[in-house]
Chains A and B, each alone.
Chain A
């Protein structure tokens, strides 16, 4: 009985059952963070919280001091004495002028909530710091029989509190498909399935371990998890707003893929993206990494105030940094102090100040292995030697020039004619060369140098560029902006971080992005590791341990398994912020490997599967829906990286935006690249990705929606791309049979029934049916 009550409180946090209120005799200790804060935050803080400007009656209920302070002889809360507490008499009042929350606010307290507050005050009204602001400490592992894996010990301990058990391990064919899709975003080949099934019979654990290692070492791991990060980086290939011109920033995308494949520690990964240009002697790669915050939109519309949209882009950068690393809705403090979390508007602009000092150029990118500074030095040397040779012949050149009349002038090369038109002292180097070559008989040394120069120029020539950050010599002045309006500057601020979090320490006179990045990944930071671990977890189970993956603040949900979250966060940091280690840890747990099928027992007691008594079926991400079809049909071009590609899209899509954009369909293997390489115009995104909820790149996306719509059905049934893939799969059916094709899509053998259904169809229809199965686009 109590277990059920506890479960409901812990899970739903605010949704208390009536039985709680009735259960007066029980000795349940009210826990502030779990039971009380959600009520205060939801119903009271808007007017009696952190935001001083919005505070009514000078009363704040977000601190013990504020709540117990006397106003005209009464205190809202008298610890230990609910009946003397004004708060209790107000919430119990029937008088419309007295009752809190006021009827006009449309907020109401349920009788259970009132009872919780009464009991909390009765028990002393203890305030504790919000859980997410206390740094995680490694908790002891629960004693559980039958498992040693730390994750399973936390999960199973919680399940057995409810008298529940985890599910059996999934079938090996389900397992290989699941872990392949999760780690590399591609289904296994039939050979891979067969050899795994065989190895599993020998030693299931060893076979699985080997499989995981193979997948983690695959370069496709970087693609799959790269896309996870690119969602958060709001990556796309155009400028956004209405004009939405194309941009080149795919080198940043490739940087992410490479960094993840190399298992770059997440702290370094963070620092290079936020401030790679500020590291000492930054490499080209570290500069490319700063593209993270260049994924903001650029307004190309006529008549705009450029400063307005520059400020907009920094608002977005502050909000994105807050959401991605801290899991806090810092953007809320842009116009006023945060209503729920202790973040002032001034602190918002102090963060803004870190991100306000860069120029935003596009940088030329050279092939790997080229030492650009050395080549540039060599070029300068060659040109200086050429200059010396030319300068020795200045008189001869002048004589030659004088000998030219209008008639033969026109027969000279254009470059020479242009050079002649320029006064001698003002001629460019190229013009000097042109004249010299026309006027003087060329010696061997000159030719040698000239050829060398051509060669160096060719090597240094590149048409690949990428958006980067480049710190200005003198920082801009940053002020608070009244209501976030860039035309209304107020108090000047210097760079700083919210005081509710760990202290910001630096020796720098003028702290910059690098200091901010280091602060974010400081081991003292209570949030970053938790937030990232949670977001990885969410990818595996469809939901984070904290369900509000983008809000670890007061309005967020409490973790379903707080100790597990903390244990994983500490482990993540201690394992040198290695994401691959984190993946290895999660996929090796039984919790991950169990069957996803529902069971009556779970359905009854934990319908939302919050306690993870089973795995979760998850519809694949948009890009992977495409990748699975490509792989199954044998068409996939698995080349990594490079410029975005233009697979066929339906006619007329590109005219939906303000500007008609060209879409020159890629030829050859670029038609069959993974979905993540498709060029994405923000204003007119590729329909087959958009319809499966690919993010639009307008703002950071920390969790994709998984919708389930008729348009998805139309896409899979009728889209020319999927039809082409189905035609290829048809050939496979003709060659290898229906069963093989079925396995290529689902990794399992069909039942007799299923096969019978498919056998009634012609081969093309059967192939199309396979791509339309819920199972084909789902990770089970």
Chain B
């Protein structure tokens, strides 16, 4: 009898749970109902992304991480350092660099300080300094916690990106999006729980491991939404196949899988039935998601989108809003290339202003748009890269700065973050932290905390150890960032 109840529940959920397919399989239910004896008991349906309880009440439900790949220069964007300008061209006092290591150590780059050529002004109630490169961001500073004292451990791109995403420079650890969907599940049953969007001239250094699930099942890995072709790999039905044929395919597969489930009693088949249901739904919901032309003219203008079909950071920001609107848990945008060393195509004179323009309006628009739709309260928005850049200049063909891990700037908004503050204080050159350092592990702990997860309890056992996003060295939730 238990068999039948479970199966009826399964089929009911399967065929009536908002899913439009499979009416032809109804006969199966009665067929199963008459088969009382001998069959193994069928397990309940299992969905690895089923929403789960938080450890304590959460302030935020969703996360959008605007990842500025390459390491934006905080000294041209958020950190106003008159002393640096005053000492422009002079060597940095030895006491600052003793014992420090930098990328490109083996080359002959000098260690002279480089003053910023940008103009800074204070903005909003909070009086936060923002340079003229980010006029739109300047307008929304009262929504942001700008943290100038972020600190990471690794100074080469790929390991540092891995560290920002997984809390470790080692490969094989789950990314924060994977941890989040593992901890909370997803509230969306027709899109993946963790979605990745990319823009800029190239993919981020490190590739798929940045949104990987590591030692967690791949159910939790980030799914890249693509700008060309299918938004999700293999989303569209192969060319000559009609929608009817596709529906017949799914119906038949579900039918036959259900029969096999009854035959074997293997719960994995129930999971697979769920997966096909979601896959089928995704085939229509993902294209619908991508239809940004449905958005009003004023919304498109807000983000600075000229053509709703364009592939750009701005459109990705709009898609991010559409994703969280649909219950997607974690959205990550990567935008390249912020790696301004001073080479002919990577310098502070020309390329930094242009990439700043690419992201400024849309990042601010995302905050405003989320806010006016009432989504900002439970959506965390993060802006930042894998590290920042040195106060010392790097003089190659043009001017640039090297990678810097001791103090760099990120900002946070919504989802329980305090609005309208600059957090942390760096020294007069912006080299190190004077007050309130915030290590990447602390950022992770704070993020999870706002999502209702205790970073010390969110762990998974692998090779005898409890792995967690925040590592073992004592991360702390940064109270000063919480509203």
Contacts and interface: CB of A to CB of B under 8 A. Distances in A.
A209 interface: no
Interface string B222-251: 011010111011111110010001101110
A515 B253 CA distance: 56
Nearest to A304: B156
B264 to A, nearest CB: 5
A653 interface: yes
Given A603-B41, A762-B245, A774 B203 contact: no
Interface in A690-736: 690-691, 693, 696, 698-699, 705-715, 717-720, 723
Contact of A709 (B218, B269, B464): B218
B264 A598 contact: yes
A714 B248 CA distance: 15
Nearest to B204: A658
B265 A757 contact: no
A650 to B, nearest CB: 5
A244 B209 CA distance: 12
Interface in B94-124: 101, 103-107
A106 B232 CA distance: 42
A707 B172 CA distance: 16
B276 interface: yes
A758 B252 contact: yes
Contact of A652 (B229, B236, B241): B229
A550 B463 CA distance: 6
Interface in A148-171: none
B202 interface: yes
B275 interface: yes
A656 B248 CA distance: 34
A765 B249 contact: yes
B228 A651 contact: yes
Nearest to B202: A658
Interface stretch (A177-185, A552-560, A584-592): A552-560
A708 B271 contact: yes
Contacts of B13: none
Interface stretch (A24-32, A422-430, A681-689): A681-689
B218 A693 contact: yes
Contacts of B159: 241
A713 B275 contact: yes
Contact of B279 (A655, A710, A751, A774): A710
A406 interface: no
Contacts of B252: 757-758, 760-761, 765-766, 769
Contacts of A242: 157-158, 205-207
Given A711-B279, A761-B252, A773 B228 contact: no
B229 to A, nearest CB: 5
Interface stretch (B255-263, B293-301, B356-364, B475-483): B255-263
A656 B40 CA distance: 45
B228 A718 contact: no
A711 B104 CA distance: 41
Given A617-B266, A617-B268, A708-B219, A651 B229 contact: yes
Contacts of B171: 240, 297, 696, 698-699
B205 to A, nearest CB: 3
Given A301-B157, A711-B223, A775-B260, A556 B207 contact: no
Nearest to A754: B256
A344 interface: no
B264 A323 contact: no
A717 B279 contact: yes
Given A303-B103, A598-B265, A598-B266, A708 B203 contact: no
Contact of A707 (B41, B203, B217, B259): B217
A774 B260 contact: yes
A657 B253 CA distance: 35
A658 B208 contact: no
A652 B275 contact: no
A242 B100 CA distance: 24
Contacts of A683: 206-209
A513 B219 CA distance: 40
Given A323-B463, A709-B218, A762-B245, A718 B269 contact: no
B394 to A, nearest CB: 10
A577 B157 CA distance: 45
A394 B145 CA distance: 83
Given A301-B156, A757-B255, A698 B248 contact: no
A698 B172 contact: yes
Contact of B202 (A548, A660, A712, A761): A660
Interface string A743-780: 00000000101100110111011101100111100101
A769 B278 CA distance: 17
A68 interface: no
Could you tell me the dominant secondary structure of chain A's interface residues? loop
A268 B234 CA distance: 45
B403 A303 contact: yes
A715 B234 contact: yes
A329 interface: yes
Contact of A710 (B192, B268, B456, B465): B192
Contact of B249 (A243, A650, A706, A772): A772
Most chain A beta-carbon contacts within 10 A, residue among B41, B229, B253, B269: B253
B264 A487 contact: no
B212 interface: yes
A597 interface: yes
B252 to A, nearest CB: 5
Contacts of A350: none
A566 interface: no
A778 to B, nearest CB: 8
A304 B103 contact: yes
Nearest to B240: A764
A286 interface: no
Nearest to B255: A757
Contact of B40 (A599, A719, A754): A599
Contacts of A707: 48, 217-219
Contacts of B259: 751, 753-754
B272 interface: yes
Given A596-B264, A708-B271, A769-B256, A329 B208 contact: no
Interface string A577-613: 0000000000000000000111110010000000000
A773 B256 contact: yes
Of A657, A711, A751, A769, most B-chain CB atoms within 10 Å: A711
B265 A603 contact: yes
Given A598-B265, A698-B171, A760-B252, A774 B272 contact: yes
B438 to A, nearest CB: 22
Given A761-B249, A772-B249, A718 B463 contact: no
B314 interface: no
Contacts of B40: 597-600, 603
Interface of B: 40-41, 48, 101, 103-107, 156-159, 170-172, 192, 198, 202-209, 212, 217-219, 223-224, 226, 228-230, 232-238, 241, 245-246, 248-250, 252-253, 255-257, 259-260, 263-266, 268-269, 271-272, 275-276, 278-280, 282-283, 402-403, 456-457, 462-465
Given A658-B206, A714-B234, A760-B248, 7 more contacts: A329-B464, A329-B465, A597-B264, A598-B265, A696-B172, A714-B233, A761-B252
22 contacts: A106-B457, A242-B206, A598-B40, A598-B264, A650-B229, A652-B228, A658-B158, A659-B202, A684-B208, A691-B218, A696-B209, A707-B217, A707-B219, A710-B276, A711-B233, A712-B275, A758-B252, A762-B245, A769-B249, A769-B253, A773-B257, A774-B260
Interface of A: 106, 240-244, 297, 299, 301-305, 323, 329, 332, 340-341, 487, 548, 550-551, 553-556, 596-600, 603, 617, 619, 650-653, 655-660, 682-685, 687, 690-691, 693, 696, 698-699, 705-715, 717-720, 723, 751, 753-754, 757-758, 760-762, 764-766, 768-769, 772-775, 778, 780
**Nearest 9 pairs between A and B by C-beta?**
A555-B464, A598-B265, A683-B207, A242-B205, A698-B171, A303-B103, A713-B279, A242-B158, A303-B104
